[in-house]
Structure 1
Amino acid sequence: MSAEARGYIRDKSGMAARRKRITSKLVFNAIILLASIVFLFPLAWIFITSMKDQVDILKHPMAIIPTEFMFVENMKEVLRRAPWDVFYKNTIIVAVGVLVAQLCISIPAAFAFSNFKFKFQSFFYLFVLARLLVSPESLLLPNYLIINGLNLYNTLLGIALPSFASAISIIIFRGAFMEIPTALKDSARIDGCGDFRYMMVIGIPMIKSRIIAFSITSLVYQWDSYFWPMVITESVQKRTLAVGMAYFGTQAESASEWGLTMAAAILVILPLLIALVFFQRQLVASFVTSGIK
């Protein structure tokens, strides 16, 4: 076979490979686009419904463009019916307080499990793993009795206290600490760096991506938490946003004020959407990278 024929065959195979890659990329992008539409459609429908009045919703439930834009009026009515400033304040205090407590407990515990050898270490770590097998619902009554016994019923501390210790964060941070090369730790010890200073100066910055990932997950979970805050509180002044949505529903003049309900839902989820827009790059990077780059 001549050199020209071999070159022609290579060109043809190269073109076929490029077409295959382009086709695969187009199919992948189409799947991603379809999945994005499926996931974003409910959110878009919430915004569309929040712009309509009750009559427009009942007459034209599937209309995308409202007959009259009522978003501002709906939002004013939502703000009038419930103390959303109190709900926001309580939710932020609980979410941030729980996160700080979880990090202060989980990071040293994970560091100890990954760097020290002590008696019954395996037993204690299995105990942490076993916590993942216990559903939160099964702990509802014990937690209620403990919080009530501590006279923390109907308090923000009573809402936050059962979430202070997190087994999953200990497991995540322990794995991240174990990925740090032992040579780095040995070098730090040779330079006179103690265990606590090593954890604060070297260890924590090295696992920053895992900390960011867990922090976002914890904040979102506490922001959306409903059942436990509802059980452990009774006054409106101690309620969080998720429970506040239920309180807003009880103030409805009719059973199907969908425009006001969707406006209230936007009020609850808007901070999470803003945070996602501003921190999406850090969120993705925290999940796809490990503690060592």
Structure 2
Amino acid sequence: MKDSSGLSLSVHQRLEHKRTTRDGWLQSILGQRAGQALWYVIMLALAVVWLIPLVWVIRNAFLPREASIGSAWSWGFTLDNFIRVWEGAPFGQYTWNTFLVTAAIFLVQIFTLTLAAYAFARVPFFGRRVVFMLFLVQIMVPPDVLIFSNYQIINELGLLDTKLGIMLPYFASAFGVFLLRQAFKQLPHELDEAARVEGASALRILLRIYMPLAKPVYLSFAIVSISFHWNDFLWPLIVTDSPENRLLTVGLAMFAKSTESGTQWADVSAATLIVIMPMLIGFLLFQRQFISSFMHSGIKG
């Protein structure tokens, strides 16, 4: 009887243990899903908050001028705002200037940061670590602090109110050099040795091995560089005076400050949409590549 009772008690304990384990597992799963649902709600709320100004600008850009001023909801639609804005200010010239400046800065940056990053990652020379640390000090210095000194240099070079004057301070990027140098350091040295055995020069190794393998890092830097210089305002405002050299952001500010359009929200919204539309289209077309580049461009020491 004792053996039978003990066996029955042991089976009962095992069943209770299984039931307790199952209940704990269910509670854990429910807790995880509740946490995920809460996180999704928070992200959705932040996305809605971020989208409100954009939706407001898009709505006002296509509303008739009278409807945009009133408080009542309107289903009106017109393209006259864009025609009026395009004819009222040289936005075509502003757009071309912005494309030219942004593309030229990025291409020169790719050249300079590639050579500098390769030198810091693979070329041994005396004081390399010290020079690299001094080079990284630029990341900790806000760009606005250097505006006065940069303006003096551009003025002495006679480059005020020129596109080259806008571009020159940005031809080198400490952040880009740091990002690319970390990517180059992760590549195994065996690739260099194998290429040198085949008779490849340092430049050929850089072009055929390092740059293709660091493509995600280049794409990540392209997003940062292009978006920054497309939206840059303070430096182009200080350097340029003529419409022939103004960028879109400066042209938009001048247009919004004008007495004729200052209270016309439809015109200002249409001009704003003209400025931001290329970046929005670029992101929508290449969003998968953007996300993939940031996922595959992790930085290691």
Q: Are 2:80 and 1:69 equivalent residues in the alignment?
A: no
1:123 deviates by 2.6
Query: Gapped runs of 5+ residues in structure 2?
Result: 1-9
Match of 1:46 in 2: 57
1:47-95: per-residue Cα shift (whole Å, max 9, x none)?
12223344333331xx5x425223x111111111011111111101100
Q: Are 2:37 and 1:30 equivalent residues in the alignment?
A: no
Q: 1:226 aligns with which of 220, 224, 233?
A: 233
Distance 2:28 2:298 in 1: 36
What is the TM-score of this pair, normalised by structure 2? 0.88
Q: Are 2:180 and 1:173 equivalent residues in the alignment?
A: yes
Distance 2:68 2:297 in 1: 48
Distance 1:198 1:4, change over 3 A: same
Identity %: 31
Structure 1 contact 213–283 (Cα < 8 Å) conserved = yes
Match of 2:297 in 1: 290
Match of 1:139 in 2: 146
1:114-133: per-residue Cα shift (whole Å, max 9, x none)?
11110221232122111123
Aligned length: 288
Match of 2:67 in 1: 56
1:198-224: per-residue Cα shift (whole Å, max 9, x none)?
111111111111110111111111111
The structure with the larger Rg is 2
Structure 2 contact 179–217 (Cα < 8 Å) conserved = yes
Distance 1:66 1:261 in 2: 18
Match of 1:190 in 2: 197
- Cα RMSD (Å): 2.0
Structure 1 contact 82–247 (Cα < 8 Å) conserved = no
Instruction: Map 1:241-256; keep pairs closer than 5 Å.
Output: 241-256=248-263
Match of 1:82 in 2: 89
Match of 2:3 in 1: none
Distance 1:51 1:227 in 2: 29
1:193 deviates by 2.9
Structure 2 contact 117–178 (Cα < 8 Å) conserved = yes
Distance 2:298 2:137 in 1: 25
1:22 deviates by 2.0
Instruction: Map 1:87-106; keep pairs closer than 5 Å.
Output: 87-106=94-113
- SS of aligned partner of 1:162: helix
Distance 2:207 2:200 in 1: 11
Of 121-130 and 75-84, the range deviating more from structure 2:
121-130
Structure 1 contact 48–66 (Cα < 8 Å) conserved = no
Match of 1:272 in 2: 279
Match of 1:113 in 2: 120
Distance 2:285 2:75 in 1: 33
Distance 2:144 2:93 in 1: 27
Q: Are 2:163 and 1:163 equivalent residues in the alignment?
A: no
Q: 1:149 aligns with which of 153, 156, 159?
A: 156
